[in-house]
Amino acid sequence: MHASPVATSGPLQRLSAALAGVAELLRTPFARRLRALEQANAQLEQEITLRAAAELDLRASCRELELRVAQRTSELSEANERLAQEIQERERTEQALHYNETLLRRLHDSLEEHIAERTAELTRTIAELEAFSYSVSHDLRAPLRAINGYAAIIQEEHAGAIDAEGRELLARVARNAANMGELIDGLLDFSRLARCDADSSEVDMTALAAQTKDELVREHGASVEIVIDELPRASGNEAMLRQVWTNLLSNAIKFSRPRAHPRVEVRGEAHVDEIVYSVRDNGVGFDITYAGKLFGVFSRLHSAREFPGVGVGLAIVRRVVQRHGGRVWADSRAGEGSTFCFSLPAQRSEATTRSAS
């Protein structure tokens, strides 16, 4: 007995359909896995590409770093060489400085010895010169007294036997002997300054100038208007400073007498480092070209016939002021009067500050 075709085809169709379904089921997960694998491969290739680029950048950075290290190493080597040279130069400089310092110390010691020797020699020479001038000045007084005495005896006892010319000659002898006596007195006054002790104290310059003015007026009967402003106090030796005022005021009186209304003005002004005093007159004045000769010993710009004197007063002024650490100078015009100035170091005491203000 044979089966029918319809009955046989039914199960086969169902089997085929089942197999097809199974195959379809098998194909679906594989495709997904394949796509995931392809995506992973693409990401891996991208990462490999990025890593390759990073590796290239890293190699470039390494090469640049090596170049920088080499450059820095070269610079460091050059700096070390320069430092070594500087150290050598500094060592040589220190050696030279040490040598120069030693040499300078030796020269300084030698110079001090030389200065001490020259100072002692100069001191001895000055002492000898002062002793000589003092001795000569005293020794010259005896013959001068004899000359004056003999001239006076001749004039008194033999006046009738001498004519006018003889009497004039005797008068000239007497005048010259008197002038020589004044020169000797001036030389003695000048030499005494070296032996005076320059003891310093506060000096009322206003009172000292006023006292000097009164003494000169009483002594010479001067009819000169003398105006003394309030003067700053000074520090110095009062006896020496009195000589300064005496010589300056007597000169001002002497050279202003020819005027119809002679006038002398005394002023003082305190500065930071010094005090400046001035004596101004309206006298005959002098040519400022020769001002440098005024303060020398026996220096005169006017003849003794015009204005008596021996030319020692201003030299004494300069010597006294310089011993006090100051300076002297003068200003004038011929026929318009003169101004003589001297300065003294400013005091540092409160009294001076109040006086200066």
What is the number of other CB atoms lying within 10 angstroms of the CB of residue 315?
20
For residue 95, what are its two tokens? 């050696």
Integer Cα distance of 233 and 115 in angstroms: 36
Crossing angle of helices 313-323 and 164-192, in 10° steps, is 0
| Of 348 and 223, more confident | 223
Q: What kind of architecture, by CATH, is found in domain 200-357?
A: 2-Layer Sandwich (3.30)
| Of 184 and 22, more confident | 184
Q: Given pLDDT bands bounded at 50, 70 and 90, which one contains residue 205?
A: very high
Nearest residue to 290 (alpha-carbon basis) of 341, 333, 337: 333
Using the predicted structure, report yes or no on whether residue 206 has a pLDDT greater than 90.
yes
With b meaning 16 or more CB within 10 Å and e meaning fewer, what string describes 273-286? eebbbbbbbbbbbb
**CA distances to 41, 131, 337 from 215, in Å:** 132, 31, 23
Q: Could you read off the pLDDT of 273-295 as tens digits, one per residue?
A: 999 999 999 887 776 776 667 76
What is the number of other CB atoms lying within 10 angstroms of the CB of residue 296?
13
User: Any residues with CB less than 8 A from the CB of 215 and at least 6 apart, and which?
Assistant: 246
Integer Cα distance of 164 and 145 in angstroms: 24
Domain parsing of the chain, residue ranges: 57-195, 200-357
Integer Cα distance of 297 and 313 in angstroms: 8
Using the predicted structure, report yes or no on whether residue 35 has a pLDDT greater than 60.
yes
**CA distances to 266, 305, 329 from 283, in Å:** 14, 16, 17
Integer Cα distance of 173 and 176 in angstroms: 5
Place of tokens 């010993």: 297
- pLDDT of 150 reads 77
Using the predicted structure, report yes or no on whether residue 301 has a pLDDT greater than 60.
no
Q: Could you read off the pLDDT of 311-335 as tens digits, one per residue?
A: 677 888 888 898 888 998 988 887 7
With b meaning 16 or more CB within 10 Å and e meaning fewer, what string describes 126-159? eeeebeebbeebeeeeeebeebbeebeebbeeee
Integer Cα distance of 18 and 125 in angstroms: 153
Nearest residue to 348 (alpha-carbon basis) of 245, 200, 244, 243: 200
Burial of 314 (0-12, 13-18, 19+ CB in 10 A): buried
User: Whole-prediction pTM value?
Assistant: 0.52
CB 295 within 8 A of CB 314: yes
